[in-house]
Structure 1
Amino acid sequence: MTVSLILVLVLTALIHLINTLIYSARWAGVKTGRLATAYSLFNIIFLIASTANTVQAPLLSSLVERTINQGLAALGSHLPDDLLLQMPVYQHELHLLEHQIRWVILSATLGTVVGGVLLPPFVRLFSRTILLFEEVGSVPRLFFLALSPRRFWNALKVMRPASPGSLRRVMAHKLGLPKGFLLLNIFISGIYTTGVLSALYAGALFPHYRTTATLLSPIVNGVATVLLAMVVDPTAAVITDQALQGKREEKDVRQMVAYLAITRFLGTILAQLLFVPSAWLIRAVAELLV
């Protein structure tokens, strides 16, 4: 396993950990009664994931380029793509690349699990941060206070992972959420996890037009984006607003956050199944365009 691949795995896990912790913004917003502030402050944390993504993307792309270049160097660039894919040497390179990308998907799963385990303590810490921000009224001052040894030590004491018993208590309550909303989140999470990865792999399946294939990731992600915007986000927003208005109990939001994290985890498992078929779909679309 190369250093660049290890870095990709770490960054992918970090990105998915933060994307799972995003669910805590709704819970903390309801807990403190300050939903807008919760989202605003979490955007600062989300910048970490965005920065990690800017480093991860070229590293992932380099893995694909290495596979293609090694295959072409061994067989020659004059071979048509379909014939190139049949060559044992190139098939070996493709197999190695698929193995590496499946490790990347697995790191997304692990990052999601860690994020899910840290959700309850992170909500406690984030709720304190929201109230502290109201006192200081400035993000730079908030960071300055957060970095003080005493507050940093107190934050570490709060960050105790959730116990299996807490998950069982959430699951024991009657499900007060739309089941279709949760099932869609599995599908959406699976597509988002594999969308860019499948497009990169499609570039290796269509090496002479790999840029076209790689840029077609919206073919896969577009469906998930529409479903997220039309079903999942509005439903989660309604449940959150109802809790803020007193029409629902806070435990309903807690249950929603827990189930969204669980379905996100299941989505990363589904991504392992969607990965290769999605890559061939993107390759087929790329062939129509060239």
Structure 2
Amino acid sequence: MNIQILLILIFNFIITFIGTLAYSTRLVGVKTGKIAISFTVFNILTLVSRTAVTFQEPLLTNYAEKNLYSSNLIVIFNSIILVSGAASILGAVLIPTFQRMFSKGVMFFSLEKSIPRLVVHSMTRRGIYSMKQCVVLPSRKSVEKFNYRKLPRRIIVYNFISVAALTVGALAPIYAFKIVPNLRATCVTLSSVVNGIAQILMTIFIDPQMSIMTEEVMEKKCSEEDFKNCVLAMVGSKVAGTFAAIFILIPASFAIVFVAKGVDFISRI
């Protein structure tokens, strides 16, 4: 396998894996009662994810330019989506383990008030042993107690759409310039538009509702069990949305081509 593609797959795996684990952050905040600290500690992990994004996109664009007329390009893109799907599944399975680790990290940070000390502590023998004790598989009881009737279905659908859009947001514009090589710069620029729409959807419709629900749990207006079910459903919609990107990659690419041609037409007027 090309080393460039291998790096892209690794970066994409890290991005999706951390993004999936992020859903459990609110659960840890509710469980420990330290919501602000939970988000602060998790920012370290998101830095890793964002750094991976900055490396992934140039590598992917460069590979596509060098293999512009290769018939394997769509296979590579589908492989990237499948790796993302696998990372989201692994992240979902490891959420109980991550919750325990993250809870300990939050409590340690609340006492020491130092991110560097938290990082150093996690690398010590005591820290590694503590993390090993956190390893646990999802319980059967959690699955049996899952109640889909009280789920905020609209938010889950919005999450599905935004995840699917974000997954193809970096791929469809690049594949689009394979269709119209003369408009490659315009197509790549439209990547930020696709991602921006997905981010707006998350910011306006998803994040506020999840924040409200978090506050309601803290105020005992909503049960922790219902909140946990909601988070699990959001994780499930992320997994489904990631795999759904395979089916919308080609249509999204042609939609971007249509927009790119429209921009080109307007610029000629």
The 5 Å alignment of 1:163-174 reads: 163=139, 165-171=140-146, 173-174=147-148
Match of 1:181 in 2: 155
Cα distance in 2 between the residues matched to 1:49 and 1:7 = 14
Partners of 1:143 and 1:187 in 2: CA distance = 35
Q: Distance in 2 between matches of 1:228 and 1:139?
A: 28
TM-score (norm 2): 0.93
Q: Partner of 2:15 in structure 1?
A: 15
- Could you say which structure has the larger radius of gyration? 1
Per the alignment, in what secondary structure is the counterpart of residue 170 of structure 2? helix
Native 8 Å contact 1:15 1:53 kept in 2: yes
Of all paired residues, the percent bearing the same amino acid is 30
1:166 Cα deviation from its structure 2 partner: 4.6
SS of 1:160's equivalent? coil
Pairing partner for 2:103 from 127, 131, 135 = 127
Unpaired segments of 5 or more residues in structure 1? Answer: 72-92
**1:101 aligned to 2:77?**
yes
- SS of 1:248's equivalent in the other structure is coil
What CA distance in whole angstroms lies between the structure 2 residues aligned with 1:55 and 1:34? 33
Are residue 190 (structure 1) and residue 169 (structure 2) matched?
no
**C-alpha displacement of 1:170:** 4.3
TM-score by length of 1: 0.87
The answer on whether the counterparts of 2:166 and 2:198 sit within 8 Å (CA) in structure 1 is yes
Answer whether contact 2:159 2:234 (CA < 8 A) is retained: yes
| Contact 1:219–1:282 (Cα < 8 Å) also in 2 | no
- The 2-side partners of 1:106 and 1:210 are apart by 25
Indicate the larger mover: 34-43 or 280-289.
Answer: 280-289
How many corresponding residue pairs?
264
Partner of 2:87: 111
Determine which of 188, 191, 194 is the counterpart of 1:220: 194
1:67–1:204 CA contact under 8 A, matched in 2: no
The answer for the alignment partner of 1:158 in structure 2 is 134
Report the Cα offset of residue 220 of structure 1.
Answer: 2.6
Deviation, structure 1 residue 156: 2.1
Does the aligned pair in 1 maintain the 2:81–2:245 contact within 8 Å? Answer: yes
Indicate the residue corresponding to 1:147 in structure 2: 123
- Given that 1:170 and 1:258 are in contact with CA atoms closer than 8 Å, whether structure 2 keeps it comes out as no
Structure 2 residue 229 is matched with structure 1 residue 258: no
Q: What secondary structure, in the 3-state scheme, does the structure 2 residue paired with 1:246 have?
A: coil
Q: Which runs of 5+ in 2 are unaligned?
A: 265-269
Looking at structure 2, the residues matched to 214 and 232 of structure 1 have their Cα atoms a distance apart, in angstroms, of 27
In structure 1, how many angstroms separate the alpha carbons of the residues matched to 2:204 and 2:141? 31
User: 1:287 deviation in Å?
Assistant: 1.1
Matches within 5 A, 1:224-243: 224-243=198-217
Distance in 2, matches of 1:174 and 1:15, equals: 28
Q: How does 1:263-282 map to 2 (within 5 A)?
A: 263-282=237-256
Tell me the equivalent position of 2:267: none
